[in-house]
Structure 1
Amino acid sequence: MRLALFDLDHTLIPLDSDHAWGQFTVAQGWRDAEAFGRANDAFYAQYKAGTLDIAEYIRFATEVIRELGPERAAAAHADFMREMVLPHIQPQALQLVRHHQAAGDTVVIVTATNEFVTRPIADAFGVAELIAIRLERDAAGNPTGEIAGTPSFREGKVVRVAEWLAERGLGWADVSHSTFYSDSINDLAMLEHVHAPVAANPDERLLVIAQARGWRILNLFHDQEIH
C-alpha cells in the first residue's frame, strides 16, 4: 500500500472548517455573537499555539449540533458547505488529490476536526477515507459532546492511522510509501512518522522545522488563507 495522507484545514482548504462552522452558527442567530466569537477565537488561538484541550473544545464545538438534532443539523451543514466551504475549494488542491489517486495511492484525509463538519468536505474532494474526530453518540444516535475513542489530534493521528490500517489487516510496516501533507506544528508527530513529510502552507513554527530538516515545502494558496 502507498498512502497519501492529508490534513484538511489550511492544508487542503484555505480556512479552518471548525472555526468557520462556529462563525456560521453565529450568523444564523443560534449563538450570541460576542460571547461565542470570543470563545471560538480563543480555542483557535490555542490550537495554533499547540495548547488546545481537545475534549473541552469538542464539547463547545458540538453544542449547536446537539441542540439542532440530526435532521436540522444536516440541513444547516448543507447551507454551510454551499456558502462557506465550496467557494474556497481551490483547483490546485483538487489537482493534488487527483494526482495521488491517479498514481494509485490510497488517499486519506486525517483531521482533528470532527466527523460531522468534515465528512461532506471529504466527499467534495472525492475522498472516501476520512479519519476525523469521532463523536460519541447516545442510543438515539445524537452526539453527547464527548469524543469516541482516540482523537485524531497531534500524536493521536498516528494512532488513528494505525487503527485504520489494522482494520484492513495491515500495519505501518505494510505501507511501502507514505506521504503526509500538513500546515500545522500540531501534526509534527505524523510528519515525522511518514516517508515523505510535506509542509503545506506551513505555520511559522512548522516552516522553521521543515527548512531545517530539508522537508518539501508547498504553498497551495499563495497567501489566500482565510481565518
Structure 2
Amino acid sequence: MARRQRSAPLDEAVLVAQPPLAAAELAPTAQPAQDRTGAAFFDVDNTMMQGASLYYFARGLAARRYFTTIDLARFAISQARFRLLAAEHAGDMDRAREAALSFVKGWQVEEMQRLSEEIFDELMADRIWSGTRALADAHLASGQRVWLVTAAPVELGRVIATRLGLTGALGTVAEIRDGAYTGRLVGEMMHGPNKANAVEALAAAEGLDLSRCTAYSDSINDVPMLTTVGRAVAVNPDSALRRMARSQGWEVRDFRSGRNAAKVAVPVVLGAGMVAGAVVGGMALSRRRKKAL
C-alpha cells in the first residue's frame, strides 16, 4: 500500500527565535512555534483511554439510575457481537444508527454536557493511558494541534479533549433543535472511513498538510484514517492492526502489561461502538425515565 512521506520527528520542531536570555528567564516564557500545517489525530477507545469511553459513560448513567443493570447487560451483549464479529454490514449499521438516535432523542444538550463532565472525572480520568497522553503532549509541545477522533458523541469527545488540554474532538454529531436532540444525525456516524473523511475535511478547513500529520489508533477499523496521514502509529493494537503495522513498517506503541491487557479487554468489548448499537437497552430505560418525570 502506498504511503505518503512521513512528517519530521517531533523533536525536530523549530522553536520561535528568542534573544539570548539566561535559562531562568527563558524557561517560563519560551513557547514553541505554532506548527500550522502539522497535527495529530488520536482515536479514543483503547488508544487514549483504557477501555471504551461510552462503557464508562453508561456505568455513570447506571449509577444515576438512567440505566438499570439489565439494560447495561443488554447493550453489553450487543457490543460483544459488534466488536468480536466486526458486524459492519449495511443492515447492522442501519440498526446501530437507529439505536443511537433513539437513545439521544429528547435529551437536553446541557444535560449531556453536565453528565459527560461528571462521569469523565469520576470514571475516565484515571483510565487515560499515560503513555498515549505523553505522545499527545509531545505534539502540543512541538506547536502542533491535537484532535480526538471518536465514534462517541462529539459532546463527550470534547469533554475528554478539554480535560486533557487538547485542541478539540471530531465525533458523531446528533441534530439539535431548541436545545434538545431530535433523534437524527448530522452526517454519518464517526466510524471507519467516516473518520478519514472527517480528518480530510478538517485538514482542508485548517490548512493542514496531511503528509505532515500523524494518526494513532488501536483498531484495524481505523486503517482509513491511519492511511490518510503521513505517519501512522498503532497504539495498543488489536491483532489485525499489529499485522498491518508490521507489513507497512508503522511504529507500534503498546502501553499494556499482561495484567492491564486482561483488565482492558472486557470494557473494550462491552463498550466499543456503543453509539453503534450498545444503547439498545437504554431506549427502554429512557422511556421509563420520561414517564417518571
> How high is the TM-score relative to the length of structure 2?
0.68
CA drift of 1:17 comes to 0.4
Q: 1:79 aligns with which of 92, 103, 118?
A: 118
Q: Which amino acid aligns with 1:184?
A: S
- 1:95 corresponds in structure 2 to 134
Give deviations 1:63-92, integer Å, cap 9, x for gaps: 565455334333322321121111212432
> CA separation of 1:177/1:206 partners in 2, compared to 1, >3 Å: closer, same or farther?
same
Alignment partners' CA distance in 2, 1:127 and 1:165 = 17
- 1:191 corresponds in structure 2 to 226
Contact 1:22-1:40 within 8 A present in 2 as well: no
Greater shift after overlay, 103-112 or 119-128? 103-112
CA drift of 1:208 comes to 1.8
CA drift of 1:103 comes to 1.6
**Residue 14 of structure 1 pairs with residue 53 of structure 2:** no
Q: 2:148 aligns with which of 100, 103, 109?
A: 109
Q: Does 1 or 2 have the higher relative contact order (CA < 8 Å, sep 6+)?
A: 2
Contact 2:101-2:185 within 8 A present in 1 as well: no
- 1:33 corresponds in structure 2 to 69
Contact 1:55-1:147 within 8 A present in 2 as well: no
Alignment partners' CA distance in 2, 1:114 and 1:31 = 18
Percent of pairs identical after alignment? 25
Q: Which amino acid aligns with 2:49?
A: I
CA drift of 1:35 comes to 3.4
> CA separation of 1:117/1:163 partners in 2, compared to 1, >3 Å: closer, same or farther?
same
- 1:214 corresponds in structure 2 to 249
- 2:185 corresponds in structure 1 to 147
Alignment partners' CA distance in 1, 2:170 and 2:129 = 22
Alignment partners' CA distance in 2, 1:33 and 1:108 = 33
Alignment partners' CA distance in 1, 2:109 and 2:41 = 29
Q: Which amino acid aligns with 1:196?
A: R
**Total equivalences in the alignment:** 223
> CA separation of 1:102/1:191 partners in 2, compared to 1, >3 Å: closer, same or farther?
same
**Runs in 1 of length 4+ with deviation above 4 angstroms?**
52-55, 61-68
Consecutive unaligned residues of structure 2, counting only runs of 5 or more, are 1-36, 268-293
Contact 1:158-1:193 within 8 A present in 2 as well: yes
- 2:40 corresponds in structure 1 to 4
CA drift of 1:44 comes to 5.0
- The structure that has the greater radius of gyration is 2
Q: Which amino acid aligns with 1:212?
A: S
More strand by share: 1
- 1:178 corresponds in structure 2 to 213
